[in-house]
Amino acid sequence: MDERIKNKIRKLREQYGIPTAEKEVPLFQPGVDESCVAIVYPSNDIRTLGFKMAADKLVDIALKNPGCADYLVYSIAYLYRMYIELRLKTIIESAKHIYRKGHKLEKLLKEAKPVIKNSSQWFDDQELEAVEEKIEEFCKIDPSSDAWRYSRDYDGDPTLEGIQTVDLKHLKQVMDSISTALEGSYTAIFEDRQVE
């Protein structure tokens, strides 16, 4: 590229405050400004809550800026799915002291369901069935945790077939109802362990 053009581009970027990638500037570094420094915990519990919190915030942004919904739906659904996956894993881990790998919600739900059922008085069998129904819906739409991330699966087939639109406000409300039951169960398991 011509040096004059390079200089012109540099000046325009400076004038409009367009960031420029620089060598030897780390991506992750310890923070100085305490208002925006995140502590990285080794626990999956805080990550679990973080995925749901991030999805909730993105829904709020989409509600305030409707033009953003088409861009944010993928991240929102993926983050909610990750919340469910990690919460099922932490329930299993807390009750059975076994760490589970993999992304298959169906398998995790099957293992976590008896634990959830026996762990909490927060909800009745009907609510547990409703939670199970919603998780199974995620299983059908995104069985391997890649449908909301990629437009095609490993075989090259399109993902999210049959889904034309998503009501993000409704999705958030349903996820809140699921999380009430899952968090109640997880809390009960945690409290039971404290008594032991």
| Stronger pLDDT, 104 or 69, i.e. the higher one | 69
Query: CA 163 → CA 5, 149, 166, distances in Å?
Result: 46, 15, 8
Question: Does residue 162 form part of some domain?
Answer: yes
Domain interval for residue 172? 43-195
| Cα distance between residue 83 and residue 172, in whole Å | 12
Alpha carbons within 13 angstroms on the beta-carbon side of residue 43 total 11
Q: Give tens-digit pLDDT for 114-162.
A: 888 887 666 788 888 999 999 999 989 998 888 999 999 888 989 998 8
Question: Does residue 20 form part of some domain?
Answer: no
Question: Does residue 14 form part of some domain?
Answer: no
Number of domains in the chain: 1
Question: Does residue 173 form part of some domain?
Answer: yes
Question: Does residue 12 form part of some domain?
Answer: no
Statement: residue 192 has pLDDT above 70: no
Q: Which of these ranges, 16-20, 55-59, 69-73, 177-181, has the smallest mean pLDDT? A: 16-20
Local structure of 158: helix, strand or coil: strand
Question: Does residue 136 form part of some domain?
Answer: yes
Which pair of tokens denotes residue 9?
Answer: 């581009």
User: In this predicted structure, what is the pLDDT of residue 137?
Assistant: 93
Question: Does residue 51 form part of some domain?
Answer: yes
